[in-house]
Amino acid sequence: MSLKGKIKVSLKLLRELRKLSGISKFTNMHSALVLAIGLEKLGVIDFLEKPRSLEEVANFIGDVKRLDFLSELMEVLEREKILQKLDGHYKVNIDQLDKLKKKRTTNPYFIAFEPITSGFERVLYEVMRDVLRGAEFDFVSPEVATVFYFQNASPLYALGRELLLELGGGKGLKGKRILDLGCGFGAEPITLLNYLDFDCHLICADFFPNVVDECMHTTIEVDGQTKMLKDLEKVEFAVLDPSMRKPFPIPDEHVDLVFSFALLHWSKYPDKIISECARVLRKGGKLMMVTPVKKKEGSRITAGEVLLKLEGGNRFYTREEMEKFLTDANMTDITIFISHMIVAKKG
């Protein structure tokens, strides 16, 4: 992207970002609250009214095999001041926990993420406990899928997708053939179609058949009529292989754009996914992604990353890793905005 283009997009993004002011601070505060609510449901918060060692907490939860995850969980809660650490023992700071709980109804960011918060309160705390016990979950485990079905439909996600579209070329993306990679349950194609006034050819692809099926049956208003996405002429669907052993069922150089929002950190194969994106993109085509980008290897784990791991996701990738995935795939002109938004061009 030219310098002039970057400045133009930055200004536009900054204007929009005012709506999301304090986003990284709130992400960590919110993620820590969610984790604490999970621990509360397991009785751990009451147990931490007295100082306890990591091993005592592990024994209280029972059968913990991922002591590394538990240690990271305690570390981020300490950083967000929900826990205090004294002589290697953790104790809960109830005042801070109560303060964060109040934000559920007062802070717009916390309100936007309420589906995840209440999801943890109702079911995901059990997923968290089972991940600590060594179990593997994926996105379509019923508990996880149900929570994200609602979370993905939030206005904040829609705003995030629109910002990514702005960054990738805005309304100039009209008329293009777009691979919506990790389309989810349907909220995302709706954002794309409405933003582009239905002037695009959309391939909605996801890694799980039931997610794609839900997406196909999602309804959208077109010229005053309610239609299912599967009945729209210029929308098609593809199911992808989450193990990335099979290539995307899409020919080489078939699409102008790949749009991927909040997907990459769920997969253990980000390099293979990016390489497939490059293969299906025409020369000069753009890849647009949202995924958290860590500053560098060894940088402190954040509450957001711990939350992702404990709900069945993989991990956040570093800037260095991301740049390598992209350059290895022959992608150039890499721009990373606000540690989350990435745009690159096929060289």
Ligand X SMILES: C[S@@+](CC[C@H](N)C(=O)[O-])C[C@H]1O[C@@H](n2cnc3c(N)ncnc32)[C@H](O)[C@@H]1O
Q: Is 157 in the site for ligand X (CB under 6 A)?
A: yes
Interacting span for ligand X (CB under 6 A) from 183-191, 276-284, 303-311, 336-344: 183-191
**Which positions from 85 to 124 touch ligand X by CB under 6 A, shown as an x/- string?**
----------------------------------------
> Closest approach of Cβ 241 to ligand X, in Å?
9
Distance of CA 227 to the CA centre of its chain: 28
Residue 139 in the binding site for ligand X (CB under 6 A): yes
Total chain residues near ligand X (CB under 6 A): 19
Q: In angstroms, rounded to a whole number, what is the distance separating the alpha carbons of residues 301 and 194?
A: 37
Q: Does 150 bind ligand X (CB under 6 A)?
A: no
SS3 64: coil
Taking a C-beta distance cutoff of 8 angstroms, is the pair 179, 204 a contact? Answer: no
**Beta carbon of residue 130, minimum distance to ligand X (angstroms, whole number):** 17
Provide the 10 A C-beta neighbour count for residue 51.
16
Could you give the CA distance from residue 224 to residue 241 in angstroms, rounded to a whole number?
36
Which candidate, 40, 30, 305, 39, places its Cα nearest to that of 154? 30
* Interface of this chain with ligand X, residues 188 to 227, rule: CB under 6 A: 188, 206-208, 211
Torsion of CA 241, 244, 332, 13, to 10 degrees: 50
Task: Label the pairing between strands 293-294 and 177-181.
Answer: unpaired
Our CB check for ligand X shows the closer of 314 and 339 to be 314
Strands 201-206 and 177-181: what pairing? parallel
The nearest distance, CB 269 to ligand X, in angstroms, is: 7
Q: Which is nearer to ligand X, 248 or 261 (CB)?
A: 261
- Could you tell me which stretch among 31-39, 47-55, 100-108, 179-187 binds ligand X (CB under 6 A)? 179-187
Other C-beta atoms lying within 10 Å of the C-beta of residue 109: 17
- The minimum distance between CB 267 and ligand X, in angstroms, equals 4
* Residue among 42 and 204 whose Cβ is closer to ligand X: 204
| Inter-CA distances, 253 with 186, 246, 256, 259, 299, Å | 25, 17, 8, 15, 37
- Determine the length of the chain: 347
Closest approach of ligand X to the CB of residue 103, in Å:
22
Residue of 46, 49, 68, 138 that binds ligand X (CB under 6 A):
138
In whole angstroms, the minimum distance from the beta carbon of 188 to ligand X comes to 4
Q: How many CB atoms lie within 10 A of CB 24?
A: 14
Q: Can you tell me which of 148, 195, 237, 316 binds ligand X, judged by CB under 6 A? A: 148
Residue placing its CB nearer to ligand X in the complex, 96 or 291:
291
Q: Choose, by CB under 6 A, the member of 70, 77, 128, 187 that binds ligand X.
A: 187
Find the DSSP H helices in 42-122: 44-47, 54-61, 67-79, 94-106, 108-112, 114-119
Cβ count near 325 (within 10 Å): 22
What is the rounded (10 degree) CA torsion for 29, 30, 31, 33?
90
Give the H/E segment covering residue 261. Answer: strand 255-261
Sites for ligand X among residues 245-284 (CB under 6 A): 261-263, 266-267
When asked if residue 242 is in the footprint of ligand X (CB under 6 A), the reply is: yes
User: Contacting ligand X (CB under 6 A), which of 31, 117, 152, 302?
Assistant: 152
Q: Which is nearer to ligand X, 117 or 152 (CB)?
A: 152
One residue of 38, 184, 270, 292 binding ligand X per CB under 6 A: 184
Cβ atoms within 10 Å, residue 147? 21
Q: Which is nearer to ligand X, 77 or 289 (CB)?
A: 289
Summarize as ranges the residues that interact with ligand X (CB under 6 A).
Answer: 138-139, 148, 152, 157, 182, 184, 187-188, 206-208, 211, 242, 261-263, 266-267
